[in-house]
C-alpha cells in the first residue's frame, strides 16, 4: 500500500446462524448483513442465505433465509443446506471467503474415527470454487476457512450469487442411538466476509490479514 496517501478500505461480513453485535466506528469502512451505507470511495456488499427447509431438510418452497434452519437429525437422512454468498449489485472488486465453525468436535471425531472429514457429512462441496485454506481447533469446535477462487466485481452489473459452499448434510446410516444423542447440540455456523481487492495487489493473504486485524483489534 503506497505511503503517499491512505487508502480507505471497504469491508463487509454476513452471518448465517450466528448473532453478532453491531460494530462501533472502525478505521476501515464496514458493512454487515443487509445494512446499506454509501461511500464515495466505493462499496462492497454481500448477502449470505440458504434455502428455507423443514426440520427434515426438505425445501418448503418459501424462498431463502438469512437466519438459518433447524434440523431433526436421523441416521441415513440427507438434509438440504446450501449456504450461498450473493455479491450485491454495484459492488467493487472483492475477495470473498466463508468461515465455518462446527461444534461437538470431540464427539464427532469419536463417532467418525479416526476423525471427521468434511466429505463425511457434507455433500456438494466443490474445492475448485471454495478452497479450504485453513483448519484449526478452538476449544471443542473446529473452524474452517474457505476462500472463493477468484475476486468478484459487480460494478454496473446485477447481483451475482456464487456457488454454494455445499448443498446438503448427510447423516451416515451406521449411527446408533448413543451416537445421535451425542450430536443433540450439533451446530454448524457459517460466516461470510468480503474485502475490496484494490490496494492489495492481488494478495489474498494480505487482504485477509488486514480484515482480521480490523475485526479483531
For 23-38, the pLDDT digits (tens) are 333 334 344 444 344 4
pLDDT band at 118 (very low <50, low <70, confident <90, very high): confident
When divided into structural domains, the chain yields a total of 1
- Burial label, 152 (beta-carbon count in 10 A; 0-12, 13-18, 19+): buried
Q: How many CA atoms lie within 13 A of 155 on its CB side?
A: 9
| Domain membership flag for residue 3 | no
Share of the chain above pLDDT 90, in %: 48
| Domain membership flag for residue 4 | no
Domain of residue 120, residue span:
10-215
Mean per-residue pLDDT for 56-84? 93
| Domain membership flag for residue 1 | no
* Secondary structure of residue 119 in the 3-state scheme: helix
Three cell numbers, residue 94: 472483492
What is this structure's pTM?
0.81
| Domain membership flag for residue 79 | yes
pLDDT of residue 27: 38
For the chain, state the CA radius of gyration. Answer: 18
2-16, 18-32, 99-113: which has the minimum mean pLDDT? 18-32
Q: Is the pLDDT of residue 177 over 80?
A: yes
| Domain membership flag for residue 19 | yes
Three cell numbers, residue 213: 486485524
**Which helix (H) or strand (E) is 115 found in, with range?**
none
* Secondary structure of residue 21 in the 3-state scheme: coil
| Domain membership flag for residue 99 | yes
13-17, 24-28, 45-49, 50-54: which has the minimum mean pLDDT? 24-28
Amino acid at each position: 500500500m503506497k505511503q503517499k496517501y491512505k487508502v480507505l478500505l471497504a469491508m463487509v461480513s454476513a452471518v448465517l446462524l450466528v448473532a453478532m453485535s453491531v460494530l462501533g466506528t472502525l478505521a476501515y469502512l464496514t458493512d454487515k448483513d443487509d445494512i446499506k451505507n454509501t461511500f464515495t470511495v466505493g462499496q462492497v456488499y454481500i448477502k449470505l442465505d440458504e434455502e428455507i427447509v423443514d426440520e427434515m431438510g426438505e425445501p418448503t418452497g418459501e424462498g431463502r433465509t438469512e437466519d438459518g434452519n433447524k434440523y431433526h437429525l436421523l441416521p441415513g437422512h440427507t438434509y438440504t443446506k446450501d449456504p450461498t454468498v450473493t455479491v450485491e449489485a454495484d459492488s467493487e472488486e472483492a475477495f470473498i471467503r466463508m468461515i465455518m465453525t462446527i461444534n461437538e468436535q470431540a464427539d464427532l471425531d469419536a463417532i467418525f474415527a479416526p476423525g471427521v472429514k468434511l466429505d463425511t457429512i457434507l455433500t456438494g462441496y466443490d474445492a475448485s470454487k471454495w478452497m479450504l485454506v485453513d483448519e484449526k481447533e478452538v476449544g471443542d469446535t473446529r473452524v474452517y476457512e474457505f476462500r472463493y477462487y477468484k475476486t468478484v466485481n459487480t460494478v454496473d452489473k446485477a447481483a451475482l450469487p456464487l456457488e454454494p459452499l455445499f448443498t446438503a448434510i448427510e447423516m451416515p446410516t451406521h449411527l446408533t442411538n448413543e451416537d445421535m444423542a451425542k450430536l443433540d447440540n450439533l451446530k454448524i455456523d457459517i460466516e461470510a466476509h468480503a474485502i475490496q481487492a484494490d490496494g492489495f495487489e492481488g494478495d489474498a493473504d494480505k487482504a485477509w490479514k488486514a480484515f482480521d486485524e480490523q475485526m479483531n483489534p
